Amino acid sequence: MSEAVLDREPGITSVSILEPTLEQMSDVPVTLVFEVARLDITIRQLLAMKEDSVLEIPTSCLDCINVSIDGNTIATGEITTNKERYGVRIEEFLHGADDGVDTP
């Protein structure tokens, strides 16, 4: 994106209104999504579910959690525990054109 240039008056050159700086955006809230697994089931299985139904997740899914913002995977991690609390340890940040993250 480019800068918007105002009419040239003494003391006015240009104003960047399309490209906010990282500092200007640092307090913008974002929602992180931690994807544990995806399961393929039939409509019959879906209709058979009740409130206490349990869907089994393969244990291999817990080894690689995708961390996404706005549908774009930005990192991978693994489930970790500290006493009775769960978290995600970030193992790798993904950079590249295909994952929606711009490389600095």
Contact predicate 74/102, CB 8 Å: no
| Per-residue pLDDT at 15 exceeds 60 | no
Q: Which residue has the higher pLDDT, 17 or 22?
A: 22
DSSP summary character for residue 3:
-
Containing domain of residue 88, as a range?
27-99
Instruction: With respect to residue 22, please indicate whether it lies within any of the assigned structural domains.
Output: no
* 3-state secondary structure (DSSP) of residue 14: coil
- Mean pLDDT (the chain) is 80
Residues 76-102: what's their mean pLDDT? 79
The pLDDT, as a whole number, for residue 84 is: 87
Assign residue 32 the CATH number of its domain.
2.30.330.10
Instruction: With respect to residue 34, please indicate whether it lies within any of the assigned structural domains.
Output: yes
The pLDDT, as a whole number, for residue 82 is: 87
Instruction: With respect to residue 13, please indicate whether it lies within any of the assigned structural domains.
Output: no
Instruction: With respect to residue 89, please indicate whether it lies within any of the assigned structural domains.
Output: yes
Distance of CA 52 to the CA centre of its chain: 30
Distance CA 70, CA 23 (A): 21
Instruction: With respect to residue 18, please indicate whether it lies within any of the assigned structural domains.
Output: no
Contact predicate 67/79, CB 8 Å: no
Say how many domains are in the chain.
1
Instruction: With respect to residue 21, please indicate whether it lies within any of the assigned structural domains.
Output: no
Instruction: With respect to residue 36, please indicate whether it lies within any of the assigned structural domains.
Output: yes
Instruction: With respect to residue 15, please indicate whether it lies within any of the assigned structural domains.
Output: no
CB burial of residue 7 (10 Å; 0-12, 13-18, 19+): exposed
